[in-house]
Amino acid sequence: MVKNVIAIGTYNVQMYDVPGVAALSASIRQQKFKLEVNSDISLIVEAGEVLAWIGAALRASPYNDRLAYCSPVITWLDTSNCSIDFMVEEVPQQTVVSNGQCWHRMFKNAVIAKGFPIRRKSEARAGLEIPLNIMAGLVRTKRIEQFNGKDFIKGFSAMLVPKKRSSDTIIWHYVYKQDGSYISFLDNSGAHEEQVTNTDVETSRHVVGWCMEAEIYAGSSKANPVNCSDLPKPQSGGLFSSMSVSMGRYITGGSPYMLGVKDIPIHISEDGYIPKLKWISKKFVLLWDEANKRGWLVNGTTALLHLVRASLDHDSKDEFSSAFLFKKELIQESEDPFKTHSATHVLINEVNRKLPIYRNRDGYIQFEDRVEHMHSVLERLINYQKCVSGDLKEFRSHPRRNLEGWDFRDLATNHDPLHSRVTMLAPEGKGWVDFVRATHTITLFGSGFGDLIQTTPTKNCKYWSRLPENKYYLAVAIPD
């Protein structure tokens, strides 16, 4: 009816008859839609409800790609006439980014018609219920694809992943590329509901909104300063009892030289910086907080940047601080902060790589030099870890309660030589020691790491809003 009236044009009236029930007339005058209903009160109320919903739902948010609420406001002019106006308000920012709201990015300038009843869901705050065919249309596809035995509704730059089944409902998570580029099936990280049959898909209700998110503070500018672990060296017979690591030194002197292109074999990388980062990105480091008895398993690049920042912070306060040139506020942070890949963005940034730390005879010691130095130390620790775990028989003979590694503060302050450390875990912590050893994960001890993996604001159980202390738990981000 509204569409027909608009098509007729301003000041024209369109008449409608509902046989045996009512006569309706509609017109548009001065940007106002007018509907006259000649019927009993129940149909008049129903017509008002329909107009209120249409007026609230068929609007665009005025807040530049941000969601808005639209609420109808009904004012009675007299006993037989009422006016329906609409109040638009911006959805608060914290609601946009909270858990379960991944569906927000499926729309542009979307409006939520506020105050209207919806069907009860089997799970509270589960997200937005959408018919299956419309869900597929929103990611620009008409098919459910199967990859590696799992179901996806996938378009070119966005896809929907079934995350959970709850009673008669399948909950999906919306994954997309911000720049509209190609998205791979492999870009889905995290849980995937595998028990979804064709019958389930056809008969279930479908809800978009299941986004378990966490922020990675390891390696970020918001991370806490780390104190010494004060742990002892391993006793004789321990895994690392006979090992120490030198911090290494630069090669100086000799005649100046230049390498010609013909002198460099194919297998030698012209610039080893990026290959080094690629190598360490596949390794893992356990950051164990000895004071709070909990640990954080992070990828190698995240741990590397965490160490680099800590070492620069130490240099800014020691007795040579007057010669220290580095300004931490000049670091260009990742455009996608607090993720498992954010550290890589910072480390490969060309501006960051050239930031000066100290002046030397040849120019400057730069941020890139510090990264390579810390990389070389971690590289040797990783190789030591692999070396001692090579003999599984000997490895298994060492008590699982003994967790051996190195002191984070020693590395950050360039302590030379580095001596290994050991802590004794309570029985509840021994279960993951085999996992750490089998993956050749090195352990860096410290105190006061803070919450290196933090949940985003949510109304879920407060006990799990942060990793509990003194429980010997080990946390890791899902992508890692």
Query: pLDDT digit string (tens) for 159-185?
Result: 888 877 767 777 788 888 878 788 887
**pLDDT (mean) for 105-126:** 75
CB atoms within 10 A of CB 30: 7
Q: How far apart are CA 37 and CA 318, in angstroms?
A: 83
Highest mean pLDDT among 96-105, 248-257, 263-272, 346-355: 346-355
Q: How far apart are CA 154 and CA 66, in angstroms?
A: 24
Residue 394 confidence (pLDDT)? 56
Residue 20 confidence (pLDDT)? 55
* Residue 298 in this model has a pLDDT that exceeds 90: yes
* Residue 268 in this model has a pLDDT that exceeds 50: no
Residue 7 confidence (pLDDT)? 45
Residue 307 confidence (pLDDT)? 94
Residue 332 confidence (pLDDT)? 92
Residue 269 confidence (pLDDT)? 43
User: pTM (2 decimals)?
Assistant: 0.54
DSSP for 415-459, written as a single string: -SSEEEEEEE--GGGGGGHHHHHHTT-EEEEEB----SEEEPS-S
Give the residue among 83, 103, 77, 82 at the shortest CA–CA distance from 91.
103
Residue 253 confidence (pLDDT)? 45
Task: Name, in order, each residue with C-beta under 8 angstroms of 135's C-beta and a sequence gap of 6 or more.
Answer: 153, 160, 172, 206, 208
**pLDDT (mean) for 365-384:** 88
Q: Can the peptide bond before residue 62 be classed as cis, meaning omega within 30 degrees of 0? A: no
Name the helix (H) or strand (E) containing 43: helix 41-57
Q: How far is CA 403 from CA 429, 436, 480, in A?
A: 10, 9, 21
Q: How far apart are CA 317 and CA 307, in angstroms?
A: 16
Identify the residue with better confidence: 51 or 308.
308
| Contact present, 68 and 61 (Cβ < 8 Å) | yes
Structure tokens belonging to residue 334? 């990742």
CB atoms within 10 A of CB 61: 20
